[in-house]
Amino acid sequence: MPRFLIPTLVFGVVVVLGVTAFMVWRTYPFLFSKAYVVRIATGPLSGEGGKFVAAFRRELAKAHPRVSVDMVETPSVAASALALKNGEADLAVARQDDPNAAEGRSIFVLRKLFAVVLVPASSSADSVSDLSGERIGVVTAGGAVDPLARALLDYYAIDNKRVVQLAPADLAEAIAKKHVHAVVVVGPIGPGPIADAVQVFRKATKKPPKFIDLGEAEAITARFPVYEKIDIPEGSFGGSPAAPSDDATTVAASVLLVARASLSNYAAGELTRLLLATKTDIAASLPQAGQLAAPPTDRDVVLPAHPGTIAYLNGDTPDLLDETMNYLYYASMFTGAFGALAAWASSLRNRRQIRELRAQVARLPALLEEARTPAAERLDATEHELDKLSEWFVEKFVADQISADVFNNASSRVTHIRELIHKRRPGGTGAAAASPTPQAAG
């Protein structure tokens, strides 16, 4: 093997081992440290996202003590998605319709937020189109209209002049005094804004509200793919009479635990496993967690599940040995390609050396002829070129770029030419004596 290829071989081995070790560290970080910390942006700690992550952290400490959760509090769920996008968190509680979460991958569905249109039980309206020209109240959260409610208003082209923004505390008066004829509310099934609005209707009108069925739900989701068509089961909000009185079709947005796309497949799969394993225990301490569910594994959804989550749900999670062998295989392929490139470069280098050697050897007969010619004035130039040629052969032989046979043959011919030049000089002496002749290699 040529000497210059040895460093290349060593470099290739180091690359294979280094890349493999790095990828194993990325995939199984807890093998290299006492605790693997996962940063989760939660929104306000007092909010549902913060409460869920806190409950999960407690259960995780029991089930997997080497993995710990660092809760990153943010002012809102929207700020959590932004923290994920900016690399300030590994995971975040985020809404599916938040553009800042678009580059992430879903790990788990925490809950669904439904958009409902409520009217008094006495209302003759059975669809949104029946509310044409009427004032519609929108229950706000923190003084802002929910993006899902805004999408609903935009789809039905409801004039802003007809929209009355209502704080939750103002809803009862607006219904009792008929300031609005319908109310749009966004919230989960269970405790939350919708359940509160249903109770307000019961108190103000002595009956539960009518849930307007959104027959255009499929068309709404076609225009706004971040939402999904969904049915609210009869009696979801309880009471007597039950609300709603029948299944109601509407649209919903998912609140997800979203991971950055670069999170390792193993970590994503392990988080999914732990969430499924602790779901019941979390729900026992946090009733809102009863809606926890694995994300859909379809790859054509707006915010697809993380590949590691999909692998776990499909039973394809690789173990440590499989992952390590995969990394070794890919690293070896890379190094093999690098080695092939190095061999090709070596081949080009060898061809150049052969051409150069042939050119130098071809000069020896020419110099011999010059040494024999009658023109004595050419001897100095001939001897000077012979010196350069002799130095070249010595340099290449020392660098192991020509064989001993080639060097010995060239040395013999150089010596013969020097002797001939020496004999042709007056008195048999001259510059030849000052120029060393390469010694034949033994």
Report residue 99's pLDDT band, with 50, 70 and 90 as the boundaries: very high
Higher pLDDT, 125 or 13: 125
Residue 367 pLDDT > 90, yes or no?
no
Supply the pLDDT for residue 326: 65
Nearest partner of 320 among 259, 267, 278, 261, judged by Cα: 267
Coil, strand or helix at 72? strand
Domain residue ranges of the chain, discontinuous segments joined by +: 39-318
Could you tell me the pTM of the whole model?
0.66
Overall residue count recorded for the chain in this entry:
442
Instruction: Return phi, psi of residue 114, to 5°.
Output: -100, 145
High-pLDDT (> 90) share of the chain, %: 43
Q: What is the reported pLDDT for 430?
A: 45
* 311-319 average pLDDT score: 77
Give the CB-side neighbour count of residue 205, counting CA atoms within 13 A.
23
Report CA-CA distances (Å) from 310 to 113, 318, 382: 23, 12, 79
Mean pLDDT score, 54-66: 82
Q: What is the pLDDT of residues 399-415, one digit of tens each?
A: 777 788 888 888 888 88
Residue listed under structure tokens 């100095």? 380
Q: Which residue has the higher pLDDT, 81 or 25?
A: 81
Q: Give the least confident one: 15-19, 30-34, 155-159.
A: 30-34
If residue 379 lies in a helix (H) or strand (E), which one and from where to where? helix 379-398
Question: So what's the pLDDT on residue 82?
Answer: 96
Q: Could you tell me the two tokens for 428?
A: 């048999």
- Evaluate whether 435 touches 383 at the Cβ level (below 8 Å): yes
Residue 92 burial class via C-beta count within 10 angstroms: exposed 0-12, middle 13-18, buried 19 and up: buried
Residue 322: which pLDDT band, with cuts at 50, 70 and 90? low
CATH fold of 39-318: D-Maltodextrin-Binding Protein; domain 2 (3.40.190)
Specify the pLDDT at position 283. Answer: 84
Q: What local confidence, expressed as pLDDT, does residue 25 receive? A: 56
- pLDDT bin (cut points 50, 70, 90) of residue 437 is low
Q: How far is CA 188 from CA 112, 116, 232, 254, 390, in A?
A: 6, 10, 10, 10, 91
Neighbours of 78 (CB within 10 A): 18
